[in-house]
Amino acid sequence: MPAYSIADAKTHLTRLIDQAQAGHDVVITRNGRPVAELRAMTPTHKSGSPATYLWLTSRRNARAPARRSSVDLLNHMYDPPA
């Protein structure tokens, strides 16, 4: 795992990010001691994927129906029974 001083990392940040994206972990040192590690992030799921839509749909369908509508709840909040 290559190590670079903070000054070198600042100077060559673009190249170090390219290395991280290529799968190489990069260590950044201060006074010869490791203080940070630069590595590529793991990809996350896109919110618009079909799997996400199916998961959300199944969660919605599994829920029990609401007992009161939002209008009833608001009326109860602002006009409590006497």
pLDDT at 34: 94
> What pTM was computed for the model?
0.50
pLDDT mean over 2-23 = 93
Q: Bridge-partner residues for 36, per DSSP?
A: 28
| Between 43 and 46, the higher pLDDT residue | 43
pLDDT mean over 10-30 = 93
pLDDT at 46: 60
Total residues belonging to the chain: 82
Residue 37 and residue 13: Cα distance in Å, rounded? 13
| Between 31 and 80, the higher pLDDT residue | 31
Sign of CA dihedral 55, 56, 57, 61: positive
> Measured between alpha carbons, how far apart are the two ends of the chain, in Å?
73
Q: Does residue 79 surpass a pLDDT of 80? A: yes
Cβ neighbours of residue 37 closer than 8 Å, sequence gap 6 or more: 25, 26, 27, 28
